[in-house]
Structure 1
């Protein structure tokens, strides 16, 4: 499986894996919506979908049951980095302190700014920064980005000195 995405300022790239942090990125307090579960199932027909978690809020078995994707238990940021580095052509999606390691290791890093905010170092490492500006959350914007296979509403970063990109949906 592979997906080619054209991102302004980055160009066309082909990816095989997408690695998500669970809590704060996909889940709130360990719960994800049915709509998100369906979106992840659809995404998994195009990319190998990985969900990493420390299991802080529990519910890992429930999430595996509704998504069909078994979350991988990861304890540290270094563990997330090692996990991403063993893959090739990787998109990493996260926003927390321990996500900085995997965002740095990925071929394309997406930092989401949701209800709980984003860790400063994660925001600095991103290739794409997605701000929560609509109900449905940043994961929906990631889903639309991947399925449109081009970056909608592309803007120069809110921090131009980083020469990165932001998407506001």
Structure 2
């Protein structure tokens, strides 16, 4: 669990990290450099969930051996499926990260929603629903490893 208090934002007691895959952890289906080591470190304190449509069919292979749960969602109503998944975990205990239109609702529902704006871009709705925008997934994961950066960005 990650516990920290952000002035004006409130206490955060995160137990879960919910991540989109493509456009967030990966580009064109390929896991980005630096992600594996950060997920290994975060898995010591958080339950990690990758929820994806698996557009490129590469998620299981790319994430083999990592201490996380992979949830593949079918086409249609993916945004609602991701939102419902966050709610099922207890949204007040979730940090979520994503970039797509189908991530917008989960970013809004999570205690902390982080929109990732990399080469693939990010849907404006995801950006608007997020608490924070990061230019790279490794930077966003680093904020959880060193929450003072989160505090500096989200405090009132």
* TM-score range normalised by the length of the shorter chain: 0.7 to 0.9
1:80-99 alpha-carbon deviations (Å, 9 max, x no partner): 11111001211110110000
Give the 4+ runs in structure 1 shifted more than 6 A.
none
Tell me which moved more, 113-122 or 3-12.
3-12
Inter-partner Cα distance in structure 1 for 2:87 and 2:40: 24
- Compute the displacement of 1:38 (Å): 1.8
Tell me: CA distance 1:8–1:22, structure 2 relative to 1, closer, same or farther (3 Å).
farther
Tell me which moved more, 20-29 or 35-44.
35-44
1:118-161 alpha-carbon deviations (Å, 9 max, x no partner): 1011111111111x2xxxxx111112111112226945xxxxxx
Q: Which of residues 125, 129, 144 in structure 2 aligns to 1:146?
A: 144
Unpaired runs of 5+ residues, structure 2, are none
1:31-63 alpha-carbon deviations (Å, 9 max, x no partner): 114531121111111111000111101112212
Higher helix share: 2
Unpaired runs of 5+ residues, structure 1, are 133-137, 156-164
Which SS does the other structure have where 1:146 is aligned?
helix
Inter-partner Cα distance in structure 1 for 2:19 and 2:7: 22
Contact 1:6 1:13 in 2 (8 A): yes
What is the match of residue 158 of structure 1? none
Tell me: CA distance 1:70–1:15, structure 2 relative to 1, closer, same or farther (3 Å).
closer
**Corresponding residue pairs, total:** 150
Tell me: CA distance 1:34–1:141, structure 2 relative to 1, closer, same or farther (3 Å).
closer
- Compute the displacement of 1:67 (Å): 2.5
TM-score, scaled to structure 2: 0.86
1:91 and 2:90 correspond: no
- Give the number of the structure with larger relative contact order, counting CA–CA contacts within 8 Å between residues 6 or more apart: 2
